[in-house]
Amino acid sequence: SVFLSVLFMSLSILPVLGQENSQWRGKKRDGVYEETSLLKKWAETGPQLLWSFDGLGEGHTSVAIANDKIYITGMTDSIGVLYIFNLDGKLLNKKAYGLEWNANYNGTRSTVNINDGRLYIFTGRGVLLCLDEKSLDVIWSKDVLNDFDGNNLTFGMAESPLIIGDVIYATPGGKENNMVAMNKKTGELIWSSKGTGKPSTYCS
């Protein structure tokens, strides 16, 4: 199951929680975080637990942080749910967004991408959703696997949406549309690239 916890490390690094890590592996998707004055080692007793939330269901995803909010997804009874917390651990909102992967290693996979007032979620079943950040209404959705004749993987799609400018990218796999680029505002196809017919190999 997904278990969300925040550890107290030092007053000097608390701003890391407010850093705009609005997508998978940070703002440059390279796993590099630019905070300074970090502790070089833990105290003997270890870091203090500030808060935790046990009730997110099943999942293998990571958090995204933007606008002083924490975003994470989990699955309950085969349905994916988006959870939104403030930095103190208070649950602000949640939104069920449809079926998630429940064939094996059940649960959510991708990390939410927060971009220009919208939230982008890619399900383990290959559905890409765009939600309004404030209302959580679905603006558009695209069944990437079925619409582009893709091939799902043994353990479900584990792709975290990549956005550059006004373009969002996905890799359905398959022969005709191995990689696709879509308008992030509408979901309309901009271009697709052919492949050899192989699946997308859990790429992000």
Domains of the chain, by residue range, sit at: 3-29+49-193
Task: Retrieve residue 155's tokens.
Answer: 């353990």
* pLDDT for the residue numbered 12: 37
In the chain, at which residue ranges do the beta strands (DSSP E only) sit?
3-8, 48-54, 64-66, 69-76, 79-86, 91-99, 113-115, 118-122, 127-132, 138-143, 162-164, 167-170, 179-183, 189-193
Residue 99: how many CB atoms within 10 A of its CB? 13
The CATH class that applies to domain 3-29+49-193 reads mainly beta
Most confident by average pLDDT, 40-44, 100-104, 163-167: 163-167
What rounded mean pLDDT belongs to the chain? 86
Length of the chain: 204
Q: How many whole angstroms separate alpha carbon 71 and alpha carbon 85?
A: 7
pLDDT in tens, 34-84: 778 878 888 888 888 888 898 899 999 999 999 999 999 999 999 999 999
Q: How many whole angstroms separate alpha carbon 106 and alpha carbon 58?
A: 6
**Is-contact 10 41, C-beta < 8 A?**
no
Task: Retrieve residue 43's tokens.
Answer: 């105290």
* pLDDT for the residue numbered 3: 55
The pTM assigned to this predicted structure is: 0.88
Nearest one of 133, 134, 70, 138 to 123, comparing CA atoms = 138
